[in-house]
Chains A and B, each alone.
Chain A
């Protein structure tokens, strides 16, 4: 299972996006409303091309930030 962070496009239908995610077996984990980003979980690799209608970008969560 991998975690992804998706930057949402403006004025999307969030409910429609959630339905779309469900169909593609992608779990909706969190919505960071102030920055317009959602946290997703998926077994398969996903990219913005899979959700072009809703997302500007989808990046895999990285554990590479250090002091």
Chain B
């Protein structure tokens, strides 16, 4: 073990005081005046004794108990007034030290400049201080570096309340496929809710973020009446329009129930295929006909077509939503592809006598669908060279399976930001 020496400063060198120190430290103190060639200081110290340097009033001792020294120092009756460990000193060339310090300082200065330049030039994503709705957190929107900028996304639904404060200042293109009803009004509210999940930003009332692709180019096709129903021909007409406008994602929060073992319609199968050929991804709700756990129902049309992405709903506890349809017709198509948050989803909603606020929580695979469509817009911005089909594959590949839930009910799993 390496020996440690201590320099102990004494208040006085009276005989009584030195005796006290000898007793307390259990050493014999030899005064420096008695040191000689035959009795060198280090020999005295190495033998667990101390040397008193009379002119300095300092005793050098070895292997002391530091606590004991501290105690002695704090005791006014004790002659020890200070101690410290022996230090090592090296020969110093002052100019050399200054030169070395200058060199180090120049190197640090260069590093600081380099770091400053890096920070100034690098677009650092801002730390997200905004609280988010649970659905956005579940799919990892906190980590998102994209906002859907430049991606044309069309919602086929009941329209959009364009007077809603979250959309009033936005440039939104739309068309109504319902006779006598305008696309920019939404007395039903369903379409405005879906638009909020897909493309809304921050809630005006509490500042929470509730939309996924806030910078996408929002397009609206009113294919469902104010009562919330619509025809196949209106939807086909709207999809044809959307493809002609080269929209990239079509979000269909609508469904028609099908029977067990019913084959998917050739019509929607063809529509989905033609959309993909035109680099357009159709995403549709799986439907809300189930009463789980006892009565799951098959995926509705048009989501049951293999060329259309089918979306199931989960709740905040990562359980399949009790109403969410499942892949019960796998031999004829009708699988679930992915799942997304669809229970108690807060989003924009028209203000009315019934709804005093501009926001409302709704549940359904209708709410899960715009989560997937919004994420598709983010992926399309992130991977501009990928086709719609490839974006679909990336979404499924990166979806997260949920422990205890079946492929039948959630497909590849919960969609995720990458």
Q: What is the interface of chain A, defined by CB distance below 8 A to chain B?
A: 3, 5, 7, 30, 32-37, 39, 56-57, 59, 61-67
Contacts and interface: CB of A to CB of B under 8 A. Distances in A.
* Most chain B beta-carbon neighbours within 10 Å: one of A5, A34, A66, A67: A67
A5 B268 CA distance: 11
B188 interface: yes
List 4 A-B pairs, minimum CB-CB distance, nearest first.
Answer: A32-B240, A57-B266, A34-B243, A64-B256
A67 to B, nearest CB: 4
A15 to B, nearest CB: 21
Where chain A touches its partner, the secondary structure class is: strand
A53 B166 CA distance: 51
B267 A59 contact: yes
Given A32-B236, A34-B240, A65-B256, A5 B230 contact: no
Contacts of A5: 232-233, 236, 267
Interface string B256-279: 110000000111001100110010
Interface residues of B, number: 34
Given A7-B266, A59-B265, A37 B240 contact: yes
Contacts of A7: 266-267, 270
Contact of A63 (B157, B230, B255): B230
A66 B228 contact: yes
Interface of B: 157-158, 188, 190, 223-224, 228-233, 235-237, 239-240, 243-244, 253-257, 265-267, 270-271, 274-275, 278, 364, 366
Contacts of A34: 239-240, 243-244, 274, 278
B274 A56 contact: no
B149 to A, nearest CB: 26
B229 A36 contact: no
Given A35-B243, A61-B232, A66 B271 contact: no
Nearest to A37: B236
A67 B253 contact: yes
B240 A33 contact: yes
A65 B253 CA distance: 10
Given A56-B266, A59-B265, A65 B232 contact: yes
A46 B190 CA distance: 35
11 contacts: A5-B236, A5-B267, A36-B274, A57-B267, A62-B232, A63-B230, A65-B223, A65-B232, A66-B229, A66-B254, A67-B157
B255 A65 contact: yes
Given A7-B270, A36-B270, A65-B231, 12 more contacts: A32-B236, A32-B240, A33-B240, A34-B244, A35-B236, A37-B270, A59-B266, A64-B257, A65-B235, A67-B157, A67-B224, A67-B364
Contacts of A32: 236-237, 239-240
Contacts of B231: 3, 61-63, 65
B232 A59 contact: yes
A57 B229 CA distance: 24
A3 B240 contact: no
Contacts of A67: 157-158, 188, 190, 224, 228-229, 253-254, 364, 366
Given A5-B236, A56-B266, A59-B266, A35 B229 contact: no
A56 B270 contact: yes
* Most chain A beta-carbon neighbours within 10 Å: one of B190, B274, B364, B366: B274
Nearest to B275: A35
A28 to B, nearest CB: 14
A46 B266 CA distance: 16
A9 to B, nearest CB: 11
Contact of B224 (A3, A35, A66): A66
Contacts of B235: 65
Contacts of A35: 236, 239-240, 243, 270-271, 274-275
A66 B257 CA distance: 9
A37 B266 contact: no
Contacts of B188: 67
Contacts of A64: 229, 256-257
B202 to A, nearest CB: 25
* Most chain B beta-carbon neighbours within 10 Å: one of A5, A57, A59: A5
